[in-house]
Amino acid sequence: MPPRRRSASGYRGVRQRPHGGFYAEIRSGDLRLSLGTYDTAHEAARAFDAAAWRLGRPSRQMNFQDVQTLQQALDLAPPPRLNSAQDRAEHNALQRRLLVAQEDERVMAEWRRRHPEDVAYEQQYWASRREEDTRRRREERLDRRRRKALACAQADLVNAGGRSFFTEEDERWLDCWLSTSDDTNDDDDGADDWSDWD
């Protein structure tokens, strides 16, 4: 998967807050892990890189290429702004979540290494699900087109006779307005990307 584009701040995983400061976060599976608010975008980017190191991300997904070890990344990452006891408590809770995510990623990597047949089965399962979803959407689209064409043809026959017996509650009237756009293509099988491991 290609690396994500950098945000308006110029750094991956960093965005500027409206009230000042720069917010850093990193994704782990479906979770967004907050890394806190920092005074500069550079500090927030260093915090992102430290979290990326902890989660075992490749160097191409990091903001800086000058770090060679996790310990270096942790040493360069400044602590976030902590203005109150509540901020400190939230920061500690976020750090615990990051540790859980780190362990989860490590366990999943180990599981994938030990059980390649399960990984292959899972990939095959999701591929078949995508194919089934695509087939179902195509059938539904073809059915909508058929119903719309039939309803429009019936409406034209009725209008040719100078009278209309379609009412707004009639299913045929509703069928005349069905959307038949092709929202399925072979390259993108819908909004769900089962292989996105960001």
What's the pLDDT tens digit per position in 39-96? Answer: 888 889 999 998 888 888 888 888 888 888 888 888 888 877 766 677 778 878 888 8
Task: Specify the pLDDT at position 192.
Answer: 43
The contacts found for 92-99 with CB under 8 angstroms, 24 or more apart, are 94/33, 94/34, 94/35, 94/36, 97/31, 97/33, 98/33, 98/35, 98/51, 98/54
Task: Specify the pLDDT at position 121.
Answer: 92
- Reported as half-sphere exposure (CB side, CA atoms, 13 A), residue 178 has a value of 20
Q: Stretch 149-178: mean pLDDT, rounded? A: 64
Q: Stretch 21-26: mean pLDDT, rounded? A: 88
The rounded distance, in Å, linking the Cα atoms of 128 and 18 is 44
Whether pTM exceeds 0.85: no
The rounded distance, in Å, linking the Cα atoms of 55 and 19 is 30
Whether the per-residue pLDDT at 20 is higher than 60: the answer is yes
Three-class SS of residue 89? Answer: helix
Query: How buried is residue 111: exposed, middle or buried, by Cβ count under 10 Å (0-12/13-18/19+)?
Result: exposed
Cβ–Cβ < 8 Å for 56, 105: yes
Map tokens 């009639």 to a residue: 170
Task: Specify the pLDDT at position 190.
Answer: 43
Cβ–Cβ < 8 Å for 138, 132: no
Mean pLDDT for the chain overall: 77
